[in-house]
C-alpha cells in the first residue's frame, strides 16, 4: 500500500536502515561529540564555576582539573602548576557530580524501535509534545517511523490527553508517527502511521479513525509495537542505544543501575523462545538478548554512559518443574555461570534485583517456598541481592517479611559484607530500618509518586517517608524507576523529594520533604554507595572518575517551580564531553 508520500509497508524504516542512518551510526551526534578534535585523554581545566563537590564537607570550589579520566586536583590546587590544559570557563555556572540512577529499566529505552523521542517526557502540554516531534522530524530519513513511548502519559500534559491525529499531521505530515502510553498502551498515530498499520495483513492492527490504537483485550497497541520490533535491525538497536545515552546525558545522568525488565515467567533457558510476541508490552524483551547492541557499542568504544546491570529473575513456582530443588532454573544457572560486579568502569554486572523470585506471602505455600529459596541461593552464592517492597501507611508486613528473611539468611550464610538492598521502602518503620542498617543493607527510595500520587483523604503522606528514612542513618539512594511507570529525568524526583508536590501541584507528601543538598546527595553519594562504587563515583574529589554536570540554572537557589526544568548544558563522563549545548562556548 502506497500513498502520495511513497510510504509502503515494505519501505517503512523502523530504525536506521538507510544511508543516512548508517552515517549516523558511524559517528556520534553533535550532542555528544568531542567538538574540538583533541585527544580524549588530554588535561582539562574547568574554572570560574560554583562546583558543588558533595565531599564530606560539602565543599564548593571554583576550579577542577581532569586528566586520564579522573579528577586530579580540586579547588585552588587545580589552577596551580600542572601541564598545559584545555580550559573551560564555566562563567559562574553551578556544577554537580554526575547523577547516578539506582533503579531504572533503562534497557527498554535503549531498545526502542523507530526514531524515538525520549524528550516527550519533558513536555508540559500538547504543544511541547508536538514541538519535540517536529524537531525529531529533521533527523529522520524518508519513511522513517518517529516513535515516542513509555514515560509520556496524558497526566503529564496540561490537556490530560495525547495529541490528536490532525495535530500530529500538522507538524509531521511526511513521516509516520507512533505514540504509545506507559507500558501497555493505548497508542496514537498520524495519517501515515495509520496507513502503515492498516496495510499489515498478518496479525492486522485495528486503528480508529482518530488514530487511536486501543489497549485492552486484544491489545492492539502491543500488536502494533510487535510489528515495529520485528522490523528492527541490529544497527537500528545500536542507534537506539546511542540515542538513549544522548538523552540520558542531557538530563545530567552519567551512571545507570539497570534493573533489567520483568522476564517471561516460565522455565525456559532458550533465548529463541523469548523473541517478541504480539502480546508483549513495552516492559517485555528477550532478557537474554536485550543488551546485545549495548555490548557491541561498548566493545567498539562507542558507549558513553556508565551502565551497571542487575539481573531480575521472575520464575516463581512452576508445577511442571517438580520439587523445590528443581525450581528457579534460571537463577541457579545465573549464579553458577556469571559473576557479580564483573566488567570495567563503563560497563559491569551488578547483583540480583530488583527481585530474585516473585514475592509471595506464607499463605501461598509454594510461592513463598520458592521466594525464600531464592534468597538462600543468592546468599549461599555470595551475590548481592535486592527486593522491592514499598509497604503502605496501614501495613508494613511485606517489608517485615523481607527484613526478617535477610536476618535469617545472615544467620545461616552471613550477608553483612554483601550490601543487600531494599528498593522503594516507602513506609519502612524505624525498627525495620535499624535492623537493615545493622545488616549493612541500604535502601533506594522512589521519586516517581509525583506522577500518579494524589492527596490522601486522611492527610497522611503518600511516601516515601524521605525525611524519616534519612534520619535513620541507613545508606539511602534515590531513583525515578523509569522508563514505563515514570520518566527517566531525575529532576522530577528531586523536585518531589524537596517539595512533596505532585505533577498537578498538590501537596501529597506533607512533612517528608528533605533539603536540596540532601536530595542531591542521595542521587550522587547515596547512589554510588548503593552501586558499591563510592570509591570512584558520587563526588568531585581527587582520584575519582571524572563525571560531572554543568547545569543551566542554580539547582540550590532556583524557585521550586523552575527546579523541575533543570537540564545539563555540559556533561562529562570519564573526563570526556558527552553532551554540550554550546552555551559555554557561545555556539548553540
Per-residue pLDDT of 514-545, as tens digits, reads 999 999 999 999 999 999 999 999 999 999 99
User: In whole angstroms, how far apart are CA 442 and each of 401, 439, 518?
Assistant: 16, 9, 16
* Tens-place pLDDT, residues 67-94: 999 999 999 999 886 677 899 999 999 9
Percent of the chain with pLDDT over 90: 88
Q: Which helix (H) or strand (E) holds 116?
A: strand 115-116
Instruction: Tell me if the bond preceding 218 is cis, omega within 30° of 0.
Output: yes
pLDDT of residue 350: 98
Contact 441, 404 (CB under 8 A): no
Helix axes 397-413, 365-380, angle to 10 degrees: 40
pLDDT of residue 588: 61
pLDDT of residue 13: 64
pLDDT of residue 12: 61
Q: How far apart are CA 22 and CA 144, in angstroms?
A: 13
Contact 522, 539 (CB under 8 A): no
* Tens-place pLDDT, residues 229-282: 999 999 999 999 999 999 999 999 999 999 999 888 888 889 999 999 999 999
CA 531 from centroid of its chain's CA atoms:
14
pTM of the model: 0.94
Average pLDDT over residues 16-34: 35
- By CB atoms closer than 10 A (0-12, 13-18, 19+), residue 277 is middle
pLDDT of residue 267: 83
Contact 263, 288 (CB under 8 A): no
Full 3-state SS string of 274-307: HCCCCCCCCCCCCCCCCCHHHHHHHHCCCCCCEE
Amino acid at each position: 500500500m502506497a500513498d502520495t508520500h511513497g510510504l509502503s509497508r515494505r519501505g517503512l524504516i523502523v530504525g536506521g536502515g538507510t544511508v543516512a542512518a548508517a552515517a549516523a551510526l558511524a559517528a556520534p551526534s553533535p550532542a555528544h561529540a568531542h567538538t574540538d578534535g583533541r585527544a580524549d585523554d588530554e588535561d582539562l581545566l574547568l574554572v570560574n564555576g560554583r562546583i558543588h563537590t558533595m565531599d564530606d564537607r560539602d565543599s564548593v570550589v571554583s576550579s577542577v582539573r581532569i586528566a586520564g579520566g579522573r579528577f586530579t586536583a580540586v579547588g585552588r590546587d587545580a589552577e596551580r602548576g600542572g601541564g598545559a590544559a584545555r580550559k573551560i570557563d564555566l562563567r559562574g555556572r553551578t556544577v554537580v557530580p554526575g547523577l547516578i540512577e539506582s533503579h531504572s529499566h533503562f534497557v527498554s529505552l535503549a531498545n526502542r524501535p523507530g526514531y524515538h523521542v525520549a524528550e516527550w517526557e519533558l513536555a508540559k502540554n500538547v504543544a511541547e509534545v508536538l514541538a519535540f516531534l517536529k524537531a525529531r522530524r529533521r533527523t529522520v530519513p524518508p519513511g522513517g517511523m518517529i516513535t515516542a513511548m513509555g514515560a509520556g502519559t496524558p497526566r503529564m500534559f496540561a490537556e490530560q490527553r495525547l495529541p490528536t491525529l490532525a495535530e500530529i499531521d500538522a507538524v509531521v505530515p511526511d513521516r509516520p508517527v507512533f505514540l504509545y502510553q506507559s507500558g501497555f498502551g493505548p497508542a496514537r498515530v498520524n495519517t501515515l502511521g495509520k496507513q502503515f498499520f492498516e496495510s499489515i495483513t498478518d496479525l492486522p492492527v485495528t486503528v480508529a479513525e482518530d488514530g487511536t490504537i486501543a489497549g485492552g483485550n486484544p491489545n492492539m497497541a502491543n500488536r502494533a509495537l510487535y510489528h515495529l520490533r520485528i522490523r528492527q535491525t541490529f544497527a537500528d538497536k545500536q542507534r537506539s542505544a546511542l540515542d538513549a545515552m544522548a538523552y540520558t546525558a542531557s538530563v545530567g545522568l552519567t551512571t545507570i543501575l539497570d534493573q533489567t525488565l520483568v522476564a517471561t515467567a516460565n522455565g525456559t533457558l532458550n533465548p529463541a523462545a523469548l523473541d517478541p510476541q504480539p502480546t508483549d508490552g513495552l516492559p517485555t524483551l528477550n532478557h537474554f538478548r536485550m543488551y546485545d547492541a549495548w555490548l557491541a557499542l561498548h566493545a567498539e568504544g562507542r558507549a558513553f554512559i556508565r551502565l551497571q546491570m542487575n539481573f531480575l529473575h521472575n520464575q516463581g513456582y512452576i508445577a511442571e518443574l517438580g520439587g523445590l530443588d528443581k525450581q528457579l532454573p534460571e537463577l541457579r544457572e545465573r549464579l553458577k555461570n556469571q559473576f557479580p560486579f564483573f566488567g570495567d568502569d563503563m560497563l559491569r554486572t551488578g547483583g540480583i534485583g530488583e527481585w530474585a523470585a516473585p514475592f509471595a506471602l506464607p499463605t501461598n505455600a509454594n510461592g513463598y517456598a520458592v521466594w525464600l529459596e531464592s534468597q538462600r541461593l543468592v546468599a549461599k552464592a555470595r551475590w548481592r541481592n535486592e527486593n522491592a517492597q514499598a509497604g503502605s501507611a496501614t501495613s508494613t508486613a511485606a517489608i517485615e517479611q523481607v527484613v526478617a528473611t535477610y536476618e535469617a539468611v545472615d544467620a545461616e550464610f552471613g550477608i553483612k559484607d554483601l550490601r543487600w538492598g531494599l528498593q522503594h521502602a516507602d513506609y519502612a518503620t524505624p525498627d525495620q530500618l535499624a535492623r537493615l542498617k545493622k545488616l549493612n543493607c541500604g535502601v533506594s527510595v522512589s521519586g516517581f509518586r509525583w506522577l500518579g500520587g494524589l492527596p490522601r483523604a486522611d492527610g497522611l503522606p503518600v511516601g516515601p517517608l524521605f525525611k524519616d528514612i534519612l534520619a535513620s542513618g541507613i545508606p539511602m539512594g534515590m531513583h525515578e524507576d523509569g522508563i514505563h511507570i515514570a520518566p527517566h529525568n531525575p529532576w522530577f524526583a528531586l523536585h518531589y523529594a524537596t517539595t512533596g508536590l505532585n505533577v498537578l501541584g498538590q501537596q501529597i507528601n506533607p512533612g517528608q520533604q528533605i533539603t536540596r543538598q540532601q536530595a542531591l546527595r542521595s542521587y550522587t553519594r547515596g547512589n554510588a554507595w548503593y552501586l558499591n562504587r563510592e570509591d570512584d563515583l558520587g563526588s568531585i574529589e581527587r582520584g575519582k572518575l571524572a563525571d560531572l554536570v554543568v547545569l543551566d540554572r542554580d539547582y540550590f537557589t532556583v524557585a521550586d517551580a523552575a527546579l523541575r526544568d533543570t537540564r545539563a548544558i555540559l556533561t562529562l563522563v570519564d573526563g570526556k564531553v558527552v553532551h554540550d549545548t554550546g552555551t559555554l562556548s557561545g555556539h548553540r
